[in-house]
Amino acid sequence: MDGLVVVLVRPRNPLNIGAAARAMSNFGVHRLRLVNPYAVAFREARSAVGATALLKDAQEFKTLAEAVADCSLVIGTTAVRNRALQHPLKRLDDGVADAVRNAGRTAILFGSEKIGLTNEDFSHCHWLVHIPTVEGHISMNLGQAVAVCLYELARSSSLREHATEKVQAATAGDIEQIHASGYVKPGNDAVAEKKVRRLMLRLNLRGMDAKVFLGMVRQIVWKLRQKG
């Protein structure tokens, strides 16, 4: 659980931020990151009686890309099942069992209370997980969803403590570098940007592969520019 990062994307409610931090303490996870939190909520959560050290040390980021830049595996959580998801969607226990094999830093993302993670957020994820809730009541409280996901991670970690096939996967930062190398100008074409990011993540590159790949892309872009 040491390499795990919990990322709350646009949380609104200080009680939920506090509850997420409490669940993290319970399961031995220490890195909390917030992307664009509602400022008042973050301040209130931090100054609450009994706020944990990990809540006080929580880091704030403007964009999700920055928040997961050092992570080699990014998992999104979603209540949605029938939306036309362009991402692999796994049941929590399957998604997490696969995750605990990752030797690098793993991020698990939770969206805002009202709308969860967006498609843009999903494009930063290797895969999505859903908690097996019942039809008609699929949406969990944020603090409870964090607790359930961290429980499943703790459970799976202890089951696979001696798993051997850990690989050093490429971090999201490596991938963003490839992706920002000129093939797609970031911000210029959001759809293309998401597509490329998704493709990169699906390839499931190892750290060294990503560097080689980046070198190739740079050469191609350089050649193309020479011609143009």
In the region spanning residues 107 to 166, those forming contacts with a copy of itself, defined by CB under 8 A, are 131-134, 137-141, 143-145, 147-148, 151-152, 154-155, 158
Secondary structure, 3-state, the chain: CCCEEEEEECCCCHHHHHHHHHHHHHCCCCEEEEECCCHHHHHHHHHCCCCCHHHHCCEEECCHHHHCCCCCEEEEECCCCCCCCCCCEEEHHHHHHHHCCECCCEEEEECECCCECCHHHHCCCCEEEECCCCCCCCCCCHHHHHHHHHHHHHHHHHHCCCCCCCECECCHHHHHHHHCCCCCCCCCCHHHHHHHHHHHHHHCCEHHHHHHHHHHHHHHHHHHHHHC
Provide the minimum distance between the beta carbon of 160 and a copy of itself in the complex, in angstroms, as a whole number: 13
Closer residue to a copy of itself (CB): 151 or 183 = 151
Closer residue to a copy of itself (CB): 141 or 219 = 141
Provide the minimum distance between the beta carbon of 76 and a copy of itself in the complex, in angstroms, as a whole number: 18
Closer residue to a copy of itself (CB): 82 or 188 = 82
- Of 157, 148, 174, nearest to 73 by C-alpha is 174
Provide the minimum distance between the beta carbon of 35 and a copy of itself in the complex, in angstroms, as a whole number: 22
Provide the minimum distance between the beta carbon of 23 and a copy of itself in the complex, in angstroms, as a whole number: 6
Provide the minimum distance between the beta carbon of 159 and a copy of itself in the complex, in angstroms, as a whole number: 9
In the region spanning residues 163 to 222, those forming contacts with a copy of itself, defined by CB under 8 A, are none
Closer residue to a copy of itself (CB): 141 or 168 = 141
Applying CB under 8 A, does 58 fall inside the site for a copy of itself? Answer: no
CB atoms within 10 A of CB 62: 9
Closer residue to a copy of itself (CB): 148 or 217 = 148
Closer residue to a copy of itself (CB): 161 or 165 = 161
* Residue ranges binding a copy of itself (CB under 8 A): 15, 19, 22-23, 25-28, 92-93, 131-134, 137-141, 143-145, 147-148, 151-152, 154-155, 158
